[in-house]
Structure 1
């Protein structure tokens, strides 16, 4: 087991909703993240998946401390940074970097590529051997771009090349953890594969840990060692890659995996699970299990009791599921009762 680099403990982020004609006052809250626990080990990639609006990007921003949590803790190398000031966070900023979703809006169009990548070094007063320009050109070469393009502007590059520039900027401070917020969703399929392969090479060569946020379960399976499934602000299932993809237990995970295209067209097509209704509003989430309003297995208990995230008997250690009536495992002879030691 790798040393824990990042730990989120009972993390909550509510955004206030204000109303009123003359005097604005809080009339509710958006439950973007509502009490999640998640860890990322040194050199590990953890995939975070779920539908749009489930809280994945907010979780990433909380982990990078771009947002301050409502309650709960963000621990980095055992240090609680949940409510640290900007001055207190400055030594940690260089070790936690982000790759943003949109390569078109995340780069300043008025700055050259050299200025964009050099910026983090200037802010943190870092002077690498040989100078900052040499380091920027080395980073451009690492991400597969021409070092001579140092003085070009973002509009002179394609979407995939712009995302590589964003990756180079994230690497400028030699981070230990990169939070990649859907880094390939805005790219063409052929370019997606190139960027994901680049991230894999960087992880292998530099030992960087990733929190990889994505919609595409096929890409997450290709890149991640562990996977967490999120629904409406809650983590409903988490485990190692093989366990989640081959033996999912939560109905929501089953539904997501049923939509993943089969690579072998000669095999019998998988039955698609179509979820009823829309995702409930995060302003007024359902009581009990939040997935119950769309779940085909929901019973009265699901409306009154929040299912705990626990290991079911027959599951691998570390594979946790939050469901009162989990799906039967694919392996013969396993039951679906809670492990007495963990219930």
Structure 2
């Protein structure tokens, strides 16, 4: 499934959005700390799930990796090449290898263009002429994603939400990418259609060896699709581990609280009702304009102490955790082995 060298490596990735105020609105008064010092890697042929509540910085992370946004700080390395602040010319060969599937299939497709024009757009921009011609390749792609090749001349308004997202997937595949950033690709779809699209992405990954950064807030879908999972809270990664370890033995209190709300994700202790295991977090996520000092989760955590307010916990491998299972917490949950 994977090789030793990561396809994509992110170190200290940060994105702050300046808030302008005063008169005449030309003075920076604060920063929205959307993403603040992320470290993770995506291996060849691997799917990394990125989960967390709305507003925690998941989509911003995806846009930074695809370089649709300029990072404030940090480093993005793709196949050993630093693309953090690469120019448009330097990015040209990389752009075809990193593609994105957007969240909303209704707004991500141009209503004035036919399906053939939409899917063939990336080939036209990159001046790619596949064997047999562009039209033949586009019809092939439509077939690969489960659409009729005869849909070539139709317009987006003639399709359902699920079919539109398949068109978006076909467009992402047009340049034969090595990495696809899927930004909540099924959250805008009907529940009955979600499984079809996720299964399609899984099949494409298996057949073509594509790596995925799969951004979502639905933990059940992430468990189904991802090999490893990273949990984000207020711009930071608080825990990262392989799928089975994270879902069966979460170490961070926030991860445990998230999983306790997903029936498929947790199994209650023998002899107890599932409702007894549900953890209800108090209050709302703090504003990224003014995040809490120390641990950002401390304002909602039942384990928080003075140390949590003064010292920010690093994302590290705990001594009693499985290799590759990193947690950022001063008072982590007990490991199953220790229990």
3-state secondary structure, aligned to 1:13: strand
Distance in 1 between residues matched to 2:66 and 2:306, nearest whole Å: 39
1:175-205, CA deviations, whole angstroms, 9 ceiling, x for partnerless residues?
0000000000000111000000000000000
Distance in 1 between residues matched to 2:280 and 2:30, nearest whole Å: 31
Distance in 1 between residues matched to 2:24 and 2:124, nearest whole Å: 45
Partner of 1:288: 294
Instruction: Return 5+ residue gaps in structure 2 as ranges.
Output: none
Correspondence list, 1:46-65, <5 A: 46-65=48-67
- Give the superposition deviation at 1:23: 4.3
> Across the two proteins, how many residue pairs are aligned to each other?
333
Distance in 2 between residues matched to 1:93 and 1:205, nearest whole Å: 22
CA contact (8 A) 1:262 1:269 kept: no
Partner of 1:104: 106
- Give the superposition deviation at 1:261: 2.2
Correspondence list, 1:193-208, <5 A: 193-208=195-210
- 1:325 paired with 2:331, answer yes
Distance in 2 between residues matched to 1:56 and 1:43, nearest whole Å: 21
CA contact (8 A) 2:314 2:328 kept: yes
For 2:251, which of 227, 249, 252 is the aligned residue?
A: 249
Distance in 1 between residues matched to 2:326 and 2:338, nearest whole Å: 19
Correspondence list, 1:34-113, <5 A: 34-113=36-115
Higher mean C-alpha deviation, range 21-30 or range 44-53: 21-30
Q: Tell me the TM-score normalised to structure 2 length.
A: 0.96
Partner of 1:258: 260
Distance in 2 between residues matched to 1:191 and 1:121, nearest whole Å: 28
- Give the superposition deviation at 1:262: 3.7
Partner of 1:341: none
Instruction: Return 5+ residue gaps in structure 1 as ranges.
Output: 335-343
1:257-293, CA deviations, whole angstroms, 9 ceiling, x for partnerless residues?
0111248999942521111111000011000000000
3-state secondary structure, aligned to 2:116: helix
Higher mean C-alpha deviation, range 12-21 or range 244-253: 12-21
Distance in 2 between residues matched to 1:73 and 1:58, nearest whole Å: 15
- Give the superposition deviation at 1:24: 2.1
CA contact (8 A) 2:303 2:331 kept: yes
3-state secondary structure, aligned to 1:46: strand
CA contact (8 A) 2:100 2:182 kept: yes
Distance in 2 between residues matched to 1:223 and 1:22, nearest whole Å: 49
- 1:302 paired with 2:315, answer no
Provide the aligned C-alpha RMSD in A: 1.5
- Give the superposition deviation at 1:332: 4.3
Partner of 1:20: 22
Correspondence list, 1:75-154, <5 A: 75-154=77-156
Q: Tell me the TM-score normalised to structure 1 length.
A: 0.95
For 2:320, which of 283, 304, 314 is the aligned residue?
A: 314
